[in-house]
Chains A and B, each alone.
Chain A
Amino acid sequence: MAIGRSMYDDFPSYPFRRPPGLDGRPEQRPVVVVGAGPVGLTAAIGLARYGIPVVVLEPRDSVSFGSRAACISRRSLEIWNRFGAVQRPLAKGLPWTGGRSFWHGHQVLDFQMPHDEDQKYPPMVNLQQCFAEQYLVDALNECPEADIRWHSRLTAVKSTNDCVILSVETPDGVYDLEADWVVAADGARSFVREAVGLKLEGNSYEGRYLIADIKFSSEYPTERRAWFDPPSNPGSTVLMHRQPDDVWRIDYQLRDDEDSAIELQEERVRARVDAHLKMIGEAPDYELIWISLYKAHCLTLPHYRHGRILFAGDAAHLVPIFGVRGLNSGIDDAGNLVWKLAAVIQGWGGDGLLDSYSHERVFAARENIEQARKSTLFMTPPSRGFELMRQAALSLAVSNAFARALVNPRQTTAITFATSPIQTTEDESWESGPVVGATLPTFPIKMRRGHQLYDGHLIDLVGLDPTVVVAGGDEAVEMHLCKVASRDRLNVVILEQNDRADARPTVVVDHRHRARDLLGLDRPGAGYLIRPDGHVAARWRRFDPTRFDAIFALSLARGD
């Protein structure tokens, strides 16, 4: 519910542009993305980076309104970085690393998310979703491959063996658009999902949260605060997050005896916010900007691939808000899907890649749902038993450190795929480093370009192509990898402890000697095969060229 539209007046409305399909010129497109939310836009920008023409269909004429999904994880920032879209969200967003929880006037938790000097990005950045969407739209509008069609509502979806035919309603009439592939990122109430007769599976929780965005000035730093059963809102849980431009987000739980319609009324919200601000010693002098009601859902489609239609984000799964896995898992979907779809369209990967997208991201959704479900049981106890156990945990947490683990909000972290049709199983013993299926950690490195060394990060070296990261010093390994790279889409990164005289463009210097600790690379030629989405496809301590060729082919689902 928009209250203070003035705050976001700068967001442009986009005009309707008449597509050729309305003038009897049929269009066949390699990819149509349905939905210009953050997930659809991320998928579109990723595909454009691969040079693939992409149409985005969106019924609205501008980005969405309100803060919505306002916490962006490190993993999401890394994905936007890969697609050249991280700078503006990072510049505008407010980074944070931890938070506090309170119960009856006691601080019961002071938590920190994993963060250290090796990281390129903070663990979390707060940014209203509308800003994130606008930055992605601006970036897409600069891509000649991308065509965002506003004022365009899908009215029918027809799948054939060769294509998907989409009927699109516009202010000037309805036209058909033929797509080789469709990315359905049209949100929780996905039309595509309904149209092809698919249903989300799982359950929903009764607990309701009301979200109120207010604008006021405060010196309090950016961190997540939670109050359990506070004197200002007895029986409720209140969360508070700082966002850019002096906007603060207050989420509070509605008690079972409270009526949603009444509680959504502006004066009721103001009374709750006033009481909360008074409790924390802030002046109740604010502008109310946006109100929304939230319920926790634990739902997913059992498969994200439906022939030539690929589901992503809320269209594919709904995850409870606690731990911020909604938007972030959707961006992870897009990051996983984009390179696979590009590889299939451009012929450097097999069709099985798209099945692996479904396999991996359904697994991720189930992991996310399980974590968020546990958080939900704590944040909105569904029964007397859970309520009592929460009270007991909070009471113990005042003076007993062990009990604080029960209060911890379990913020989102990158998912490790237990299995995947395109990854190997480990057959050597490693002392450290990411296992197969995990994501590549990062640390500062120096990159050579010509005669100059530049500061960079390991993750910057993972671009649009698969990447091998290998410890330098074994010439035979390097020669084999360079041979593969000369005829295939493979980016070879050779990690050296010190700068090397014959430095080729692929040599990077691990000047802080982190590769041994963080990657377990303790011998020349040991290395990792990293997919374009940053997941480890395989790793080896002893390199075997025949085996490498086989795992490289497997990681691209070739020969299926």
Chain B
Amino acid sequence: MSPPSQNFDLERIWEKLANAIDAAGSGKEVLFLSKFAILASKELNDGQQVERLVDIALEDLT
């Protein structure tokens, strides 16, 4: 993972995502998250990094 930048507040992002999932509404959460995954991947602009993050997200889904 990259070193945290000065103005990056993970807790704040965590809250923002939670509110966005609620705003997307019942049945649209997965679509929202899928869109977000594509947007975030595009923004990262690093294929290897994205693949690594995908693999991490797949862990411990129990």
Contact = CB atoms under 8 A, between A and B. Distances in A.
B39 to A, nearest CB: 7
A549 to B, nearest CB: 46
A462 to B, nearest CB: 40
B35 A395 contact: yes
B31 A392 contact: yes
Nearest to B42: A402
Contact of A388 (B31, B39, B42): B31
A550 interface: no
Contacts of B35: 392, 395-396
A393 interface: yes
A403 B38 contact: yes
B34 A389 contact: yes
A396 B37 CA distance: 11
For A392, A402, A406, which residue has the most chain B Cβ atoms within 10 angstroms? A392
A402 B42 CA distance: 9
A167 interface: no
Interface in B35-62: 35, 37-39, 42
B23 interface: no
B34 A391 contact: yes
B17 interface: no
Tell me whether chain B's interface is mostly helix, strand or loop, or mixed.
Answer: helix
Interface residues of B, number: 8
A395 B30 CA distance: 12
Interface string B15-35: 000000000000000110011
Interface in A374-389: 388-389
For A388, A402, A406, which residue has the most chain B Cβ atoms within 10 angstroms? A388
Contacts of A395: 31, 35
Contacts of A403: 38
A234 B20 CA distance: 27
Given A395-B31, A396-B35, A406-B38, 13 more contacts: A388-B30, A388-B34, A389-B34, A389-B38, A391-B31, A391-B34, A392-B38, A393-B38, A395-B35, A396-B38, A396-B39, A400-B39, A402-B42
Q: Which 6 A-B pairs have the closest CB atoms?
A: A392-B34, A392-B35, A388-B34, A396-B35, A392-B38, A391-B31
10 contacts: A391-B31, A392-B31, A392-B34, A392-B38, A395-B31, A395-B35, A396-B38, A400-B39, A402-B42, A403-B38
